[in-house]
Chain A
C-alpha cells in the first residue's frame, strides 16, 4: 500500500517536472514580455532592455528556469514582474494567496454539491434506465453538457438576475473579505460550474451503474432472492463507485478549467481572473506559479482518486 503510494508520488513528481519545463517554455514563447506590457507603445528598445535586465529577463532561458525551479523547491514563487516593472516589489504568493483561497472555496462548494447530486442522479437514472424520468434527465444533461461555462453563466444571469432579480450577476468580494460571508454571491458561479460538470458526471455514473447492474454477480444476487435495495447498496453501488471515483477526479480537473471561465464571467476574484490578466500583461512569474499549481492539482486529484479506488477494490491491494 505504501509502496504503491510512493510509486505514484514519484511518478507524479517526474510528470510535474516535465510540466514545469513546458510551462516555462510556453510562457517564454508568447510574443511580448512584462517590460513591453508595462512600457506599452513607448517601449523603446533601450527601455525594454533596461527593464529586462532589471527583471533578470536578459539571462539565458535555462538559467532562469533553474532559478525558478530552485525557488519552487524553497517555496519561493518570485515576484510579480509587472509590479516590479512599476517599481513595486510584490511577491507572487501575496498576489495569489487570496484568489487561491477564493477559488478553493468556490471549487469546494461546487464539489460538495456535484458529487452527491451526480451519484444520486446517476444511480437513479441507471435503475430506471429507459423510463421517462431517465429520459428527462438524459435530455437535460445532454443539453447542458454541450454548453460552455460562459453561455451557462449568461443564461443563469438572465434568469436569476434579469428576470427574477434574485441573485447578484456579479460576485465581487472585497480584498480582506471572504466569499463565505456572502454565500449569495456564490450561488450563480457554483450553479454554473455544477451544471456544466453535472451533465457528464451523471452520465458516466449512470453508465458505470448500468454496467454493474447488468453484470453476472448482480443477476446472481437477484436470482438468489436478495431484495433489490440490498442488491443495489451491497453489490452494485460499491463496485460501480470505483470507476466513478476516476470520473470525479477527471470532473474536478475539468472543473478547474471551467472555474477560470466562470470566475471571469462573474468577476469573482479567484485564481482564474488572476491568470487571465497575468497572461494579458505577460506577468510570467504569476502565470507560471498559477499554471504549476493547476498542474499539481491535477496530479494530486489523480493520486487521491487512485488511492480511493485501491481502498474500494480489495483486489488491487493484494494484486501487487
Chain B
C-alpha cells in the first residue's frame, strides 16, 4: 500500500456535483487560514510561460505570504504530521522514493528545480530560467543565486549536474526525465548557469522536472541518504526509518523569513484508524490524505479543520491494447462507455473527485478540453462489442485492496453487466501489485493511480514506446513522433496542435479509462495553517516552508 499515496476509501456518501470543486470548502479554507504563497499564482506560471523561447519568471518565486486576514503568520512552534509509512524502506533517496511520507520529507529537506504552485501552476524552485536556443536543442538553465546547503557550501550548477547524472541510471525513478538529455555534455557555465545539450528538440523541458523523483536536487557527491544535506527549508535532526524524522528550521533558507515553524516531525504510523485517532487526541496535528470513509466522521468536528485539494492522482482502468481483446479499438471504446464515472466516484471516493474524460492531467497546461465528456452508454457499448464479435466478453480485472481500488473494480464489474460483459476480479496483494516480476506491466486489464505532475511527464513515463512503465502497451512510432512534435516543434502553435492530437488519440483509442481525479482531503488542528488546496500533492502541494502554527 505504501507504494501509492492512496488511502483506502469505502463506499459512503453520494456523488457531489463535479463542478462544485472550489466552492465552499476552498473558500472557507482560504479565509480561515492565512494562505501563504497565494500571490505565487500571479508570479509563477513557469511552465506555461516557457513555451516560446525562454524567459519564465525570474522573480524569487517565493512571493512572501501574508496572512489573508490576520496579519503575518506566527513564527515558531512545532508541527507533527503522521502518515502510513514504509518501514525500513523509508528513505531520503530521491531515486527510489515512492511512499507519501517519504515524498513529503523530500520537500522538507531538498528543494525542487520546479515547484508546484496553486491553480495547476508551477513556479521556479532552484531553477529560475530554462532558456532554449532557437531550435530547442540546447538549454541554458539559470539557477538561483545565494542558496546554501545545510552544511554551508554554496549551491551551484555542479549539484544539478551530479543529480541529473544520477538519473541516468535506468533504475532511478526520475530516469524518464533525462532520456532526451545528453548527460555527458552537461556543462557548468558559471556557478549559477549550466548548459544542457538535448538529443531531440524540446521546448518543454522544465515540465519533465516537476515530479518529486526528478525535481529534487541533491548535493554533488551524495551517496548516503541516511541523514541528507539539502538546501530545503528544514534540516534533518534525526531519522529512524519506519518511525519518525525530526527536522529543525533551516535559518539560512533562501526564502526570506521562512520557514515559519521551528520544528517539524514526520511520524510513521501503521494503521489508518490510528492516524485519525492520533489527530483527534492531539498526538500530532496534521494528517494528509485521510481515507475517504473517515472523512465523514471528521466533518462537523470543530476541533478539526479539513482541506480538500483541487485535484489529485488520476484514477485509471488500464487495458493492454497490444493483445486481445483490447487490441480491437471497438472493444476498448466499449469498455470506456461502460464506465459510469459518477457512480465509480461515489463508490471509491465518497464523491470527492472530479470526473475525467479518458485523458490524464485535466487542468494542466496543454490539456485537451475540447472533447465531449464521455458518459455511460451501454447501448453503444453493446453494439460496438457485437460488431467486434465480443458480445459475451469475459475479462479479468486485476485489482488490489491496499490501494483502495477494489470498491471501484466491484462497481465497474457491476456496471459492465449492463453491457453483457462479465468482469471477474483478481485481487492481488498490494505488496506485489506493482512488481513487474509478479505480473505488473503484463496485466491485460488492471487499475492504477497516477499523481499528475505534467502531461509531458505522464506521457514520457507511461505512453511512449520506450516508456519505463507502459501499462497499456500503447506506444508506437507515430505516438512517439507526435510527442516529440508536441515538445519540440519549432512554433508554439504546432506544439499545441500536436498535444491536442496526441490526447485525441488517447481519447479515441488509448488503453486508459481515465475516470476520475480524486481530491485528497487533509485534516489538521485548527491552529495550523499555511496550506492552499493543492493539485499535485495533498497538504498544499507539500510546501512546508509556508506552514505555521499558532500557540
Q: How far is the CB of A186 from chain B (nearest CB, A)?
A: 14
With a cutoff of 8 Å between Cβ atoms, the chain B residues found around residue A50 in the complex are 171
With a cutoff of 8 Å between Cβ atoms, the chain B residues found around residue A265 in the complex are 271, 273-274
Q: How far is the CB of B277 from chain A (nearest CB, A)?
A: 4
Contact: A82 with B88, CB < 8 Å? yes
Given A43-B437, A90-B88, output 18 extra A-B contacts at Cβ < 8 Å: A32-B435, A34-B89, A36-B438, A37-B89, A38-B96, A41-B469, A50-B171, A82-B87, A86-B93, A87-B91, A90-B241, A169-B280, A265-B274, A277-B87, A279-B431, A280-B86, A280-B431, A281-B87
> Complex formed: what's the CA distance from A85 to B226 in Å?
12
Chain B residues touching A, majority SS:
loop
Contact: A86 with B281, CB < 8 Å? no
> Complex formed: what's the CA distance from A39 to B547 in Å?
32
Chain A to chain B contacts (Cβ below 8 Å), 10 pairs: A31-B429, A36-B435, A38-B96, A42-B171, A82-B88, A86-B91, A170-B274, A276-B87, A281-B88, A281-B431
Contact: A266 with B96, CB < 8 Å? no
Query: Per-residue CB proximity of B419-456 to A under 8 Å, as 1/0?
Result: 00000000001011011111011000000000000000
Does A122 sit within 8 A of B, measured CB to CB? no
> Complex formed: what's the CA distance from A247 to B410 in Å?
46
Does A274 sit within 8 A of B, measured CB to CB? yes
Contact: A281 with B86, CB < 8 Å? yes
With a cutoff of 8 Å between Cβ atoms, the chain B residues found around residue A46 in the complex are 170
Contact: A169 with B278, CB < 8 Å? yes
Contact: B468 with A283, CB < 8 Å? no
Q: How far is the CB of B238 from chain A (nearest CB, A)?
A: 7
Q: Which of B3, B240, B437 contacts A48 (CB 8 A)?
A: B437
Contact: B434 with A172, CB < 8 Å? no
Q: Which of B238, B269, B468 contacts A42 (CB 8 A)?
A: B468
> Complex formed: what's the CA distance from A48 to B435 in Å?
10
With a cutoff of 8 Å between Cβ atoms, the chain A residues found around residue B438 in the complex are 31-32, 36
Contact: B238 with A175, CB < 8 Å? yes
Q: Which of A36, A48, A170, A282 contacts B269 (CB 8 A)?
A: A170
Does A286 sit within 8 A of B, measured CB to CB? yes
Q: Nearest A residue to B98 by beta-carbon distance?
A: A40
Query: Per-residue CB proximity of A266-310 to B under 8 Å, as 1/0?
Result: 110100011011111111001000000000000000000000000
Does B224 sit within 8 A of A, measured CB to CB? yes
Does A83 sit within 8 A of B, measured CB to CB? yes
Query: Per-residue CB proximity of B240-253 to A under 8 Å, as 1/0?
Result: 11111000000000
With a cutoff of 8 Å between Cβ atoms, the chain A residues found around residue B96 in the complex are 38-40, 85-86
Query: Per-residue CB proximity of A32-65 to B under 8 Å, as 1/0?
Result: 1010111111111111101100000000000000
Contact: B270 with A267, CB < 8 Å? yes
With a cutoff of 8 Å between Cβ atoms, the chain B residues found around residue A170 in the complex are 269, 274, 277-278, 281, 283
Could you tell me which residues of chain A, from 97 to 113, have a CB within 8 Å of some CB in chain B?
Answer: none
Does A80 sit within 8 A of B, measured CB to CB? yes
Contact: B89 with A281, CB < 8 Å? yes
Interface size class of B (residues with CB under 8 A): 35 or more
Q: State whether A87 and B224 are in contact (beta carbons under 8 Å apart), knowing that A274-B87, A281-B87 are contacts in the complex.
A: yes
Does A223 sit within 8 A of B, measured CB to CB? no
Could you tell me which residues of chain A, from 252 to 270, have a CB within 8 Å of some CB in chain B?
Answer: 264-267, 269
Q: Nearest B residue to A43 by beta-carbon distance?
A: B436
> Complex formed: what's the CA distance from A38 to B88 in Å?
10
Q: State whether A282 and B468 are in contact (beta carbons under 8 Å apart), knowing that A44-B171, A47-B171, A83-B241 are contacts in the complex.
A: no
Q: How far is the CB of A53 from chain B (nearest CB, A)?
A: 13
Does A154 sit within 8 A of B, measured CB to CB? yes
Q: State whether A277 and B88 are in contact (beta carbons under 8 Å apart), knowing that A31-B438, A36-B435 are contacts in the complex.
A: yes
Q: How far is the CB of B316 from chain A (nearest CB, A)?
A: 13
> Complex formed: what's the CA distance from A199 to B8 in Å?
34
With a cutoff of 8 Å between Cβ atoms, the chain B residues found around residue A266 in the complex are 274
With a cutoff of 8 Å between Cβ atoms, the chain A residues found around residue B2 in the complex are 280-281
Does B267 sit within 8 A of A, measured CB to CB? yes
Q: How far is the CB of B353 from chain A (nearest CB, A)?
A: 22
Does B173 sit within 8 A of A, measured CB to CB? yes
Q: How far is the CB of A306 from chain B (nearest CB, A)?
A: 36
Q: State whether A267 and B89 are in contact (beta carbons under 8 Å apart), knowing that A31-B432, A44-B171 are contacts in the complex.
A: no
With a cutoff of 8 Å between Cβ atoms, the chain A residues found around residue B432 in the complex are 31-32, 36
Q: Nearest B residue to A266 by beta-carbon distance?
A: B274
Query: Per-residue CB proximity of B452-469 to A under 8 Å, as 1/0?
Result: 000000000000000011
Q: Which of A51, A169, A176 contacts B281 (CB 8 A)?
A: A169
Does A95 sit within 8 A of B, measured CB to CB? yes
> Complex formed: what's the CA distance from A269 to B271 in Å?
12
> Complex formed: what's the CA distance from A279 to B240 in Å?
18
> Complex formed: what's the CA distance from A71 to B248 in Å?
39
Q: How far is the CB of A265 from chain B (nearest CB, A)?
A: 6
Could you tell me which residues of chain B, from 246 to 305, have a CB within 8 Å of some CB in chain A?
Answer: 267, 269-271, 273-275, 277-278, 280-281, 283
Q: How far is the CB of B123 from chain A (nearest CB, A)?
A: 28
> Complex formed: what's the CA distance from A16 to B335 in Å?
55
Q: State whether A161 and B437 are in contact (beta carbons under 8 Å apart), knowing that A32-B432, A280-B87 are contacts in the complex.
A: no
Q: Nearest A residue to B96 by beta-carbon distance?
A: A38
Contact: A283 with B281, CB < 8 Å? no
Could you tell me which residues of chain B, from 349 to 378, have a CB within 8 Å of some CB in chain A?
Answer: none
> Complex formed: what's the CA distance from A276 to B271 in Å?
11
Could you tell me which residues of chain A, from 76 to 91, have a CB within 8 Å of some CB in chain B?
Answer: 80, 82-83, 85-88, 90
> Complex formed: what's the CA distance from A308 to B244 in Å?
42
Q: Which of B223, B270, B274 contacts A276 (CB 8 A)?
A: B270
Contact: A83 with B170, CB < 8 Å? no
Does B175 sit within 8 A of A, measured CB to CB? yes
Does B313 sit within 8 A of A, measured CB to CB? no
Could you tell me which residues of chain B, from 73 to 112, have a CB within 8 Å of some CB in chain A?
Answer: 85-89, 91, 93, 96, 98
